[in-house]
Amino acid sequence: MEVVAKLPKGDWLWPAVWMMPVASRYGEWPASGEIDILESKGNARGAPGGGCDRFSSTMHWGPFWPENAYLKTHAEYPLPAGDLSQAFHTYGLLWNASRIQTYIDEHVVLDVAVNQSFWQWGAFGGGLDNPWDGRGDNAPFDQRFYLIINLAVGGTNGFFPDGLGDGKPWSNTDPHAANDFWAGVKQWGPTWSSPSLQVDSVRVWQRPADAGSDFAYRLML
């Protein structure tokens, strides 16, 4: 799958291209998995918490929260020069039973080879139930997922950490965080020079399981 997009620029903007399971056949998050092809921030290049010159790709998985082993399947890509709001880039996902890989243009970002079960890889503690027991090594990433393309602002879940000295106008623990965010509009408003997440195209290719290695089927959305 490939999404051609230009990311937004502006403090505390949070663009994302990600995937969630259609049926959550293995249980509540993160037992049924999540694939984040792209997560970025609109802050300026070099911002303490990260800015629009970089993005991350992450797979979330584990028997339950907080047993989420996402740090084993997380990678970041820093753009060598400029930022991701200046041009359209191709953000891609290659996904089959033995490998899950994300990329930007020709650069691989996250590369996960499925050569053992995610339960083994996670080395989860004794006494926990394995939600993927009896399934292939690629479970929970062996089911249908749907695509989400969204642009969020702010938030209190820690994506924008506290205490970095970056002028963040709200605290993640403050019950009035949304009001504090808006009170700082004179600070962050002028930074929203290009606040749109612009999507040029979304393309998906799928090869039937019984097709030969030279078969290519293209589905265009």
Distance CA(18)–CA(146), nearest Å, equals 8
Catalytic residue among 2, 28, 39, 67: 39
The pLDDT of residue 217: 40
**pTM score:** 0.92
φ/ψ (deg, to 5) at 190: -65, -15
Q: Quick one: the chain helix, strand, coil %, rounded to 5?
A: 10, 35, 55
Q: Could you tell me the CATH number of the domain that includes residue 151?
A: 2.60.120
Tokens at residue 13, please? 């903007």
Catalytic residue among 2, 34, 76, 106: 34
Tokens at residue 178, please? 């949304």
39 annotated active-site: yes
DSSP character at residue 136 = -
Name the residue range of residue 143's domain: 2-220
The pLDDT of residue 127: 86
Q: 79: part of which helix (H) or strand (E)? A: none
The mean per-residue pLDDT over the stretch 63-74 comes to 96
The mean per-residue pLDDT over the stretch 20-24 comes to 96
Q: How many domains does the chain have?
A: 1
Give SS3 for 185: helix
